[in-house]
Amino acid sequence: MTTTSPTAKALAALGHDARLGVFRLLVRAGESGLTVGEIGEHMGLPASTLAHHLRALVDAGLVLQEKQGREVRNRADYARIEQTLQFLTSECCMGVTLERAEEPA
């Protein structure tokens, strides 16, 4: 059984144009988020396709969903975004050295 790190899962989910577009739309929407219908209107995606992409973003921990009556509100998970960015930049500019095996004398 293979285990995928949360960062790898998040980056893999963003590796599709439609999901990246949905995610960026939700980031622009801010804390109020958007309903599934609103996302569909903005993105021009069929409901079944949008549901598939939202599920991938939710499973990757990038989008939070909250049921509000008959609608589902979607929000970008800013804490998860920060964790992903922190992972990607945590060793920025620290330098890289090559370790060479010593040659026999």
Neighbours of 16 (CB within 10 A): 14
Residue 13 has pLDDT above 50, yes or no: yes
Q: Identify the band that residue 4 occupies on the pLDDT scale cut at 50, 70 and 90.
A: low
The overall average pLDDT reported for the chain is 91
Q: What is the pLDDT of residue 99?
A: 82
pLDDT above 70 covers a percentage of the chain that reads 93
| Residue 29, C-beta contacts closer than 8 angstroms, at least 6 positions apart | 75, 76
Domains along the sequence of the chain with CATH:
6-89 (1.10.10.10)
Q: What is the pLDDT of residue 1?
A: 47
The answer to whether 15 touches 60, Cβ cutoff 8 Å, is no
84-95 per-position pLDDT tens digit:
999 989 988 988
Q: What is the pLDDT of residue 91?
A: 87
